[in-house]
Structure formats: structure tokens, C-alpha cells
Amino acid sequence: MGRAFFVDHAGCDVSVSAGARKLESLLEAVPALESLGRRAQEDDEEDALVAAAELQDRYARWYAEALAVIPDDLTARFRGLYLRRYAYPKIQHFVRSPRQRWALYDHVPRFFKERGPWQYALNDSFLAPLQEQKQLLLQALARCEPAASAFPGFDLLQRIAVRLPEAIAILTRENRERPGAPIRDEYDLQRILHAVLSVFFDDVRAEETTPSRAGGSYRIDFLLTSEKVAVEVKMTRESMTTRQVRDQLVADIFGYRRHPDVSAFFAIVYDPGRLMDNPRGFENDFRDDDPDFPVRVVVVGA
């Protein structure tokens, strides 16, 4: 189990932290909040109302959790992006009334109608200030100097895993009437991760096979040869229970120990539907700082 630390509102000051993990969790939640904000102003009114109600609840909890961990010197700016500043509405107003109609919409020139028919425009009142809040959380996270990792490469892999949902959101989003790249299964996810890993690591080998023993062998998703880290990626779905993911990872760890060029194991579990009830507990169950074969598992949502 990892040691915990807290954010003392002057920044992070103790080892691998519960505060840092909370900041990472808050950052992971941003794409889902953005998606709810977009849905809340779509034409399908029934779905939009459902999204608006969910956004109001989820953002309120997200905002409260963020205020509990963000350093004091960043708090005023973080609050200012939520509350009204001068005459400009901010997140507070959008979240409360995303479907309030703009009274002047039918009476202004066409140029002004580009902002849409809503009193609180999606980008100006929600997406843009939310991105600024995200940047403040990233600043807070950057202050948290992690303790020496149990194995070289784990810290970088952790950062890649935490930001993977954001990369997926960009790749799957329609752009200029061109469809995004769908993420249908683990194979699609592996392609994205392979590309990202290749940016940061010199030698990334896909689908390495462990030596056969006792009638079987295991296929490693990726092997970082210089770091000697096996990297595995899993993707949850309705037909894949948490227990099944756990069993697969246990089998992988057992099998990968046989590989002569593997000295550590890192797994990313992508949970786009947030089907796992206790992702942090799942991670902690697998965490192992054994110097002979350290293990990390990171669960990330959409």
C-alpha cells in the first residue's frame, strides 16, 4: 500500500499523496463535465434536461472537492471562474440554467446569433472557464513532488495514464464535419496508447510473447525495453466485470514474471462507462513495491 499525504494549502509537502491522487481524479473528471455541458444545450430537449440535471449535481461535487485540495494562493482565481465577475456570467450561471433562452436572440443581427440562442453561451460561460480551472488544478498537481518511484518510468507512465482520457476525447470528437476515430474495443485503445508511448519512450515493442511454460504463454501488449516494463491495457464493458479484469491482471502479472526482459508491470484500465465501483481500492489492491517486480495499476474513466 502507498503512503498518503495531504495538500496543506501551501502546496504538496509530503511523499506520494492522497492530495495528488485527488487532483488527478478531478482532472480525469473534466472531459465528462464538458460532455454534459454540451449535451445540456443540444436540440434533443429530453436528453438535454437529463444532462443539465446531472451536470448540476456532478459539478457541485467536483467544485467542492477541488476547493478542499487546491492551494490557498490559487483558490481565489478558481472561485472567480465559478462566480460572476463584473457583468460576465460564469460557470455558476451556466450550470444553474443552461437552457435559459436569450431574450434578444430574435432581435439581433445574424452575426450575433452565432453565439447560439442561450442566455449563457456554452464556450464563454462554461467550457472556457472550466479549462482555466483545469489549468489551476494542473498547477497544483505540478507542485506535488512525488517520492522516488519504485521503478524508473512509473511516474511518466502514471502521468500518461491520467491524461489518456483527454487524448481519447480529442481523437473521437468530430472536427470540421469529419468523424472522429471510434474507440470500440481494447485494440483501438492499444493503437492510441502505442502512439503515445512512442513519443516518450525510445523502444516500444508491441505484443511481446513470454516464454512458454506449463503448457502456456502470455502476450504482452507493450514492452518498454530500456526500462524493462511490461505495459498492459484493459477496457471495461458491460460484459467484462471488475472481477474478470482483476483475474486477467493477476494472470498477466504471473505470466510476465517469466519474461527475461521484464522487471516491472504497469497496467492501465480504461473505464469509459465508470463501471468500477471502487477504482482507487482496485489500484491499491494491486500496488506492489517489491524491488524484484514492482506493480502498478491505474484506473481512468472517460
Where do we find the cell 451536470?
Answer: 55
Alpha carbon 213 to its chain's center: 37
Q: Please give the pLDDT value at position 250.
A: 93
DSSP assignment letter at 224 = E
CA distance 198 to 37: 33
CB contact set of 285 (below 8 Å; sequence gap of 6+): 246
Give me the amino acid identity at 51: A
User: What is the domain partition of the chain in residue ranges?
Assistant: 18-147, 186-301
Check pLDDT > 70 for residue 215.
no
**Confidence band of 208 (pLDDT split at 50, 70, 90):** low
Looking at mean pLDDT, say which of 43-57, 87-101, 142-156 comes out highest: 43-57
Report the 10 Å Cβ neighbour count for 274.
13
Q: Please give the pLDDT value at position 290.
A: 85
Average pLDDT in the 37-56 region? 92
Average pLDDT in the 152-177 region? 81
Q: Quick: pLDDT tens for 221-244.
A: 899 998 899 999 998 888 888 899
Check pLDDT > 80 for residue 91.
yes
Coil, helix or strand at residue 299: strand
Q: Where does residue 118 fall: left (phi above 0), alpha (psi -120 to 50 degrees), or beta otherwise?
A: beta
Check pLDDT > 50 for residue 209.
yes
Among 32, 39, 30, smallest CA distance to 133 is for 30
What CATH code is assigned to 186-301?
Answer: 3.40.1350
Q: Please give the pLDDT value at position 28.
A: 92
Among 55, 57, 56, 52, smallest CA distance to 41 is for 52
Q: Please give the pLDDT value at position 108.
A: 55
What is the pTM assigned to this prediction? 0.53
What rounded mean pLDDT belongs to the chain? 80
290 grid coordinates: 517489491
Q: Quick: pLDDT tens for 173-202.
A: 777 767 767 777 788 888 889 988 998 888
CA distance 26 to 10: 19
Q: Please give the pLDDT value at position 148.
A: 44
Q: What percent of the chain has pLDDT over 90?
A: 28
Alpha carbon 192 to its chain's center: 15
Among 96, 120, 95, 127, smallest CA distance to 30 is for 127
